[in-house]
Structure 1
Amino acid sequence: MTRLFVDVHVLQTVPPSNINRDDTGSPKSAVYGGVPRARVSSQAWKRATRQMFRDLLDPATLGVRTKRVVELVAERIHTVAADLDQPETLAAQVLKDAGIKLEKPKRGKKDDTAGDEPEQSGYLLFLSASQIARLATLAIESARTGTPVDKSAARAAAQGDNSIDVALFGRMVADSADLNIDAAAQVAHAISVHAVNNEFDYFTAVDDRAPENNAGAGMLGYVEFNSSTLYRYATVNTAMLRENLGDDTATVDAVTTFLTAFVKSMPTGKQNTFANRTLPEAVLISLRTDQPVNLVGAFEEPVNAAGAARAIGAAKALATRLQNVEHAYGDGSTENLVVAAGEAVGELTSLGEPLRFSTAIEQVAAKVRSALGGPA
């Protein structure tokens, strides 16, 4: 197996929007290069990517991340063995046997039902569909035979047979380190390539049933927003992904699914208000054998429009940064695939002949397949 990192760099212009809010409702931001930037957290885009997986793959094959793991396993037990009583009790026991600590859900001040709910994990737990099914099978066998679940078998059931999303994004179990899965994909916080100042939209809404002599608004308020050209970056360690999945074909499928979903997805914050969904101006996929390289340094000096579309200036800065990095540190093995829409394509032709996105994905799949030792 040849070591291979798949880096994906995205330049994407987003119109007035508030796709990722902080605790005050304001668009998230960061200071970089001494100026304020728009920011979209890695968590927000990872969730958007995971949600798009459900459009690209059979949802039944994907994992679930939840504290309500007892309910999750209990539902599977009930589906397979509806005759068994108290599936929640069986599910809780097999999860505990696997080394997962459970606790009663915390009761709110006005909540009288929390004490009746099944136990939950104290943290979000990411389980694949296969792991859920195997844990349920052990619980059913235990109930049928009257013998306790073997703890080593329960731990084994919660490991292996990772779904694509679990293999890519990993899992941390604070109580049992042996259940941890190192993430094969890393996603950076997206930031604007230029300085950004947030703006405010003062809005009113009219009551359709208001009397004719009432000219006032039914409600009023304001929402904070900005617009920006974002630099987005993610990388996939194909060797780690192969280790997590245990299968060459699944690894290739996982890489192509991740690239497709990461490039085309968008967090949904305030989407109904702003209809801000766009596709990238440019996508650069770098296939590296040395290490992942984030090219955000291209934008430490803010990109100014100066009579041209900001995405064009950003594409030029991105190409220059990559060439400089390769000149200083590269060994000539990096391969670049370019996808661009509009005038930004001209700034990236020095890195490679522009391709359709689908063609670039096919070429990545061939390269990953070859790195794993299979036919290109």
Structure 2
Amino acid sequence: MTDRTYIDIHVLHSVPPSNLNRDDAGSPKQAVYGGVRRARVSSQAWKRATRVAFTDELHLPAEQLGTRTKRISSLLARRIAARTGLDDVAAARLGTALLAQDLNIKAGKKETETAYLLFFGINQLDAIIDLIAERAEELAALADDALTKAVADLPVREQLTSGHPIDVALFGRMVADITSLNVDAATQVAHAISTHPVEIEFDYYTAVDDQKTAEEDAGAAMIGTVEFTSATLYRFATLGVHQLTANLGGDTNAALDATRAFLTAFVRSMPTGHQNTFAHRTLPSLVSFVVRDDQPVNLVSAFEKPVRSRNSGIAEESARRLAKELSRAASSWGVTPLAVASVYEPNSDQNTDTLAAFGVPHSLDEAIASVLQAVRGRLQEPA
């Protein structure tokens, strides 16, 4: 059994003019907090960016990761064909029979799709194929009724409820019609909001037709506008290491590897909305990992009164506010961290005592190593 252990992740992240995450009208998402309008990036957008970072930045192997798709049937059929040598039609028929027995996954509007997105691991599909690989040709030769009967007792559901990839273990899975496939998420991710008020601005742009001659109309061939904002964002997420360990079958080494991957990817990731227009990829100005054994603590209340700093800058003042709120949570409410490891670089003219709650500055790798060391001692092999 694993003791209850949380890792809170607090990030201050300044982005230049950008439209990271837009609404249905194309505007940057916003929220009213503390009586003023803030820039906002949805939790879904940053979770997606984190998942992409697992592959693009951390280069984690595909067998450790999941995929979210309506095309589980066709994906399973292709892997059956590649593994067993069956033709596409026979592989699709066999795959459909496997998924239909006891799962009852509903078909979507398109023949090749399910009615809803399913989040699963490629390794879990391979585990399903393991059940029939040695007699695939024999099963494919059966009539429909005989095939259904032949696969009826195979533990297909068990393959999708164990051996989870790390992103399913982290972010969970919800299938309303098949509750036995549900996985409780080990992470919670807040909507990122600006620590200060923002206004939406408009970029008026034109495009010139390169093939026009000097004698022709010299006007633009196309004109348009795109909305943008710039902000110092407060980002928060929390990871329940105990839940992550349970989702990974009690494998503490796998849980530590997944924790390292999540901490790294969440901090370094960035949503890609309008990235070619704004080139908004920046790195955080401050990251603080806080290990707790009581409850997660979102420190957004540090910014309920919006930051309005003209002298030292928004990010510096936001860091001071965040440190003060971290200390207040411990002194006033008794939620005292087990460990704190932070990444920041105090300015030479800054009173470092104001940031003492963050501890001494580390590099990102050092901070994560410190957190993992604190967590490792709390992980126990399952009884």
* TM-score range for the pair, normalised by the shorter chain length: over 0.9
**2:334 maps to what in 1?**
330
- 1:7 maps to 2:47: no
What's the RMSD between the two structures over aligned residues?
Answer: 1.8
- 1:373 maps to 2:376: no
2:186 & 2:73 partners in 1: Cα distance?
27
Choose which of 217, 232, 251 in structure 2 pairs with 1:229.
Answer: 232
Over 3 Å counting, the alpha-carbon distance change for 1:216 and 1:234 in structure 2 is: same
Once the two structures are TM-superposed, the CA of residue 348 in structure 1 deviates from its matched residue by 2.2
1:171 aligned partner, one-letter code: R
**1:169 maps to what in 2?**
171
2:369 aligned partner, one-letter code: E
1:142 & 1:230 partners in 2: Cα distance?
56
Choose which of 127, 132, 152 in structure 2 pairs with 1:134.
Answer: 127
**2:29 maps to what in 1?**
28
Over 3 Å counting, the alpha-carbon distance change for 1:369 and 1:94 in structure 2 is: same
Once the two structures are TM-superposed, the CA of residue 141 in structure 1 deviates from its matched residue by 5.3
Give the secondary-structure state (helix, strand or coil) at the position aligned to 1:283: strand
1:193 & 1:100 partners in 2: Cα distance?
47
8 A Cα contact 2:330 2:337, kept in partner: no
Choose which of 94, 118, 123 in structure 2 pairs with 1:90.
Answer: 94
- 1:241 maps to 2:248: no
Choose which of 251, 260, 265 in structure 2 pairs with 1:256.
Answer: 260
Counterparts of 1:170-249 in structure 2 under 5 Å?
Answer: 170-213=172-215, 214-246=217-249, 247-249=251-253
2:336 & 2:204 partners in 1: Cα distance?
54
8 A Cα contact 2:173 2:183, kept in partner: yes
- 1:303 maps to 2:307: yes
Counterparts of 1:27-106 in structure 2 under 5 Å?
Answer: 27-54=28-55, 55-56=57-58, 57-84=60-87, 85-106=89-110
Once the two structures are TM-superposed, the CA of residue 345 in structure 1 deviates from its matched residue by 9.2
Over 3 Å counting, the alpha-carbon distance change for 1:151 and 1:208 in structure 2 is: farther
**2:273 maps to what in 1?**
269
**2:142 maps to what in 1?**
none
Residue ranges of structure 1 left out of the alignment (5+ in a row): 107-116
1:78 aligned partner, one-letter code: A
**1:352 maps to what in 2?**
359
Number of residue-to-residue matches in the alignment: 363
- Residue-by-residue CA offset, 1:35-90 (whole Å, 9 max, x unaligned): 11000000000000000101311123211100111111112111101234432222
8 A Cα contact 1:338 1:348, kept in partner: no
**1:113 maps to what in 2?**
none
Instruction: Please give the TM-score of this superposition, normalised by the length of structure 2.
Output: 0.90
**2:284 maps to what in 1?**
280
Once the two structures are TM-superposed, the CA of residue 342 in structure 1 deviates from its matched residue by 5.2
- Residue-by-residue CA offset, 1:140-191 (whole Å, 9 max, x unaligned): 4564343521356011111100010010000111111111000001100000
8 A Cα contact 1:6 1:287, kept in partner: yes
Residue ranges of structure 2 left out of the alignment (5+ in a row): 140-146
2:93 aligned partner, one-letter code: T
Once the two structures are TM-superposed, the CA of residue 240 in structure 1 deviates from its matched residue by 0.4
Over 3 Å counting, the alpha-carbon distance change for 1:226 and 1:332 in structure 2 is: closer
1:338 & 1:151 partners in 2: Cα distance?
52
Give the secondary-structure state (helix, strand or coil) at the position aligned to 2:39: strand
Paired-residue identity, %: 48
Give the secondary-structure state (helix, strand or coil) at the position aligned to 1:305: coil
- 1:123 maps to 2:116: yes
1:249 & 1:231 partners in 2: Cα distance?
31
2:339 & 2:8 partners in 1: Cα distance?
10
1:98 & 1:278 partners in 2: Cα distance?
48
Once the two structures are TM-superposed, the CA of residue 350 in structure 1 deviates from its matched residue by 3.5
**2:293 maps to what in 1?**
289
Give the secondary-structure state (helix, strand or coil) at the position aligned to 2:151: coil
Give the secondary-structure state (helix, strand or coil) at the position aligned to 1:229: strand
1:82 aligned partner, one-letter code: G
1:372 aligned partner, one-letter code: L
